Amino acid sequence: MKTIAMFPAAWNLAETTRTLEVAKACRNEFNIVFATHGGQFEELIENEGFPLTRLEPGLTDEQIEHLYQVDQGEKIGSFFTVKQTRQRVEKEAAFLRNERPLAAVTGFNVTITLSSRAADVPLIWLTQSTWDIQAMIDEGLGAYADDLDMAGLRLLPDAVLKWLTRQTFSWLGGTILRPLNTVAKEYGIEKLYDLRDLWQGDHNLLAEPPDFSGLSSVPDTYYYIGPLIADLASPVPEEINRLAAKQEPLVYFSMGSSGKPQVIKRILEGFRDQPFNVVSPMKTKLQELYVKVPPNVLLTDWLPALDVSRLADISVIHGGIGTVMTAALAGKPVLGIGMMYEQEYNIDCLVRKGFAHRIRRTRLDSESVNKAILELLTDSNAKTSAMHYADHLKAWLGSRNQKIRNFFHALEKGELKPRHDLP
């Protein structure tokens, strides 16, 4: 069997589970190997029985926090220094030369973009259409970024704010790419001109159906496979089943592994005295903060998100693509608070489908969150739209694994053609 090498950023839950779902879809027809540089979610890989190689340099907790801050725009700079980038590329390329896989697969390991080229191995990105901020704005689907939603700037025309969003994105991209381009030059690899060059491979699997973003087209190297959501096969705690059986509505509140602890704390404490119960798997994210947990809130560790979302009456989420697809599959209304630009766009995609609200994080307060929840809980049209879209996504989820296998078999046979809807 041919080998497929998975390179997840194992410090991010969504990224790790996306690569795991692809690996599980292929494990009976391909040899699957994983390689990481550390992260708390490596154990999920080992729990599934996949061989895992831990590459040097390993990530420290401080470096992981830095990665989150750069990713979310809280810190200006690159993900890795030139030295770190050089070390990572050297080790990743050596791993690839030793394994000689059919392809390398990632969803957010930025250095594998160089390593795969250095080792002459095809690279597959697990991606989403909303990462293309330029295309989203061009087609009228992308709003100006929350980072520009400031008192003075709000007075500017919308077109100007969108232009500033483009310019900010371009400038940040140049900063992020600088160390990567230094190392790329050392290997004779073509320069990365913007973040789209970084976040795409030789081929790209879109973890969404074709109608999700509303984009009229995507490049020829992009293929729709449908939702890649976490399936950790863990039971729903009985305490949550009891909450769901109560008369009061149940809210599922999760901001993923990229959620900002202070934001989560503010929202959680604001649920006090509201006429609904809340279950939130954000306990680990809040362990270093003192949180006055209201009596109507159950704070837990990680939960089987889809199962709990289906028990709830509404999901309050950040906008990670996996979390958005999970909430949509549950068939319930959604309130979204994006932590970064593509999350803002992901939520807006659900808003256009009629069963979601989005609150800009710059305007976030308890009153706006609770008001939006109560509105959605009584919105019959939103509930109907949510159920209809969930049925649509279920069909894509049912055929997803076969689409993934078909993709890799076509790649193996050299028969892969520009085709956005895989058989």
Q: What is the pLDDT of residues 129-139, one digit of tens each?
A: 999 999 999 99
In one letter, which amino acid is 56?
E
Q: If 0-12 CB within 10 Å is exposed, 13-18 middle and 19+ buried, where does residue 364 land?
A: middle
The pLDDT score that the predictor gives to residue 418 is 61
User: pLDDT tens digit string along 137-183?
Assistant: 999 999 999 999 988 888 999 999 999 999 998 898 899 999 999 99
Inform me whether the pLDDT recorded for 362 exceeds 70.
Answer: yes
Structure tokens belonging to residue 369: 């969150």
Strand partners for 126: 205
DSSP annotation of 258 reads T
Give ranges for CATH 3.40.50.2000 in the chain.
238-394
The CATH number fitting domain 238-394, selected from 3.40.430.10, 3.40.50.2000, 3.10.510.20, 3.30.720.200: 3.40.50.2000
Residues 54-67 have pLDDT tens digits of 999 999 999 999 99
pLDDT grade for 415, boundaries at 50, 70 and 90: confident
Cis peptide before 122 (omega within 30 of 0): no
- Quickly state the pLDDT bin for 39 (edges 50, 70, 90): very high
The pLDDT, as a whole number, for residue 2 is: 97
DSSP tag of 204:
E
Taking Cα atoms as reference points, which of 136, 186, 203, 155 lies closest to residue 346? 136
The residues that bridge with 3 in the sheet, in sequence order, are 31
- Please check the confidence at residue 419 and state whether its pLDDT lies above 90: no
What's the pLDDT score for residue 234? 83
Q: Band the pLDDT of 101: cuts 50, 70, 90.
A: very high
Q: Does the structure show a pLDDT above 90 at 287?
A: no
Is residue 241 within 8 A of residue 311, CB to CB? The reply is yes
Q: Which residues contact 263 (CB under 8 A, 6 or more apart)?
A: 255, 337, 339, 361, 364
For the purposes of burial, counting CB atoms within 10 Å of the CB of 167, is it exposed (0-12), middle (13-18) or buried (19 or more)? exposed
Name the pLDDT band for 256 (thresholds 50, 70, 90). Answer: confident
**Count of beta carbons in the 10 Å neighbourhood of residue 380:** 7
Q: What is the pLDDT at residue 181? A: 97
Cβ atoms of residues 314 and 251 within 8 Å: yes
The amino acid present at 256, given as its one-letter code, is: G
Residue 423 has pLDDT above 70, yes or no: no
Which three-class secondary structure state does DSSP give residue 60? coil
**Winning range, highest mean pLDDT, from 3-12, 59-68, 70-79:** 3-12
> Does pTM top 0.85 for this prediction?
yes
Give the pLDDT band of residue 74 (cuts 50, 70, 90). confident
Asked whether the predicted pLDDT for residue 27 surpasses 80, the reply is yes
Distances (CA, A) of 18 to 129, 170, 349: 16, 27, 20
**Each residue of 170-223: pLDDT tens digit?**
898 899 999 999 999 999 999 999 898 998 999 999 999 999 999 999 999 999
pLDDT on residue 315: 98
Q: How far is CA 243 from each of CA 295, 296, 311, rounded to the nearest angstrom?
A: 12, 10, 9
Contact (CB, 8 A) for 392 and 210: no
Q: Please identify, in words, the CATH class of the domain defined by 3-201.
A: alpha beta
Instruction: Confirm if 7 and 103 have CB atoms less than 8 A apart.
Output: no
Query: What is the DSSP secondary structure assignment for residue 147, as one 8-state letter?
Result: G
Looking at every residue in the chain, the average pLDDT score rounds to 94
Query: Which element (helix H / strand E) includes 393?
Result: helix 380-413
422 band by pLDDT with thresholds 50, 70 and 90: low
Quick check: 388 pLDDT over 60? Answer: yes
